[in-house]
Amino acid sequence: MPEVLVQVDQITKRVRDATGELTILHDISFALSTRESVAIVGASGSGKSTLLAILAGLDTPSSGTVKLRGQDLFTLDEDQRAAVRARELGFVFQSFQLLPNLTALENVMLPLELRGEREARDQAAAMLARVGLGERLGHYPRVLSGGEQQRVALARAFVQRPALLLADEPTGSLDFATGAAVMELMFELNREAGTTLVLVTHDREIAARCERQLRIEAGRLAA
C-alpha cells in the first residue's frame, strides 16, 4: 500500500485588501501518496496556484496544516522550509524561471551545487541529454526556444530526484504541439523517478492523464 507523502488538513487562506477580508481557500483537506499523479483543476482565480504555493511552503495558510513525511511545514521557520524544499521538492513553472545569466548546464547544476553534491556537472549533463538537450549544454536561455527552456526546467527539477514535483501550468507558454511533447516527457520522467506529481492545469486532456483530479471551486474542494 502506498505511503502518504503529503497530508493537507483544513487549509484556509485569507487576505485583506481595501474592501476587507477575502477568503481564497476554505478548509481544504486531502492526502497525496508516494508515486501518485494528481491534477488540480478549476477556473482562473479559484485558488489553485495559492494552494500549490502553500504545498511548497512558499506561502503560509491562515489556518490548517501541511505535513510532508509527517513534518508540519508551518512549525518550521523560513530557512528550515527552504532546506526542505531543496531536499524534497522540484518545481516547473509556466514561465520556466531559468536564470538568464547561466547556461542550460549551469541552470541544471545549480540546485545540486546548493546541496553540495560533488558530481553536479556530470549529473546535470546526463539529465540534459535525457531530455534531448545534450548538444545545448552551453546555450543561454535567450537562445533556446520555449520548448527547450521548459525541457531545461524539467531537467533542473528531476535532477534533484525530488519526492514531490509541483508544476504550475507547465504548458501555458507553449504552442499545442510543443506543450504536448513537454508533457509527454514530464510524465515519462515522473514514472522513471517514482516522484509524486501535483500539476495545476486548465487543460482537460493533461488533467485526465493524472491518476486523480482535485477540483477547486471558489476556494473550496469540490466533491
- 13-37 pLDDT tens trace: 999 988 889 999 999 999 999 999 9
Strand 20-33 to strand 4-17: parallel, antiparallel, or no bridges (unpaired)?
antiparallel
Q: Where are the domains of the chain?
A: 4-221
Q: What confidence score (pLDDT) does residue 44 get? A: 86
Say what the pLDDT of residue 140 is.
Answer: 97
| Cα three-residue angle 4-9-13, rounded to 5 degrees | 135
Q: Which residue has the cell 510524465?
A: 187
User: How many Cα atoms within 13 Å fall on the side-chain side of residue 47?
Assistant: 25
DSSP alpha helix (H) spans, the chain: 48-55, 78-88, 104-114, 120-130, 146-158, 176-193, 204-209
Cα(147)–Cα(174) distance, rounded to whole angstroms? Answer: 7
Which pLDDT value is given to residue 18? Answer: 84
CA distance 13 to 32: 20
pLDDT averaged per 10 residues, the chain (length 223): 90 91 94 95 90 94 96 95 91 89 96 90 96 95 94 93 93 87 91 93 90 93 80
CATH class for the region spanning 4-221: alpha beta
What residues have CB less than 8 Å from 69, skipping those under 6 apart?
Answer: 5, 88, 163
**pLDDT (0 to 100) of residue 223:** 58
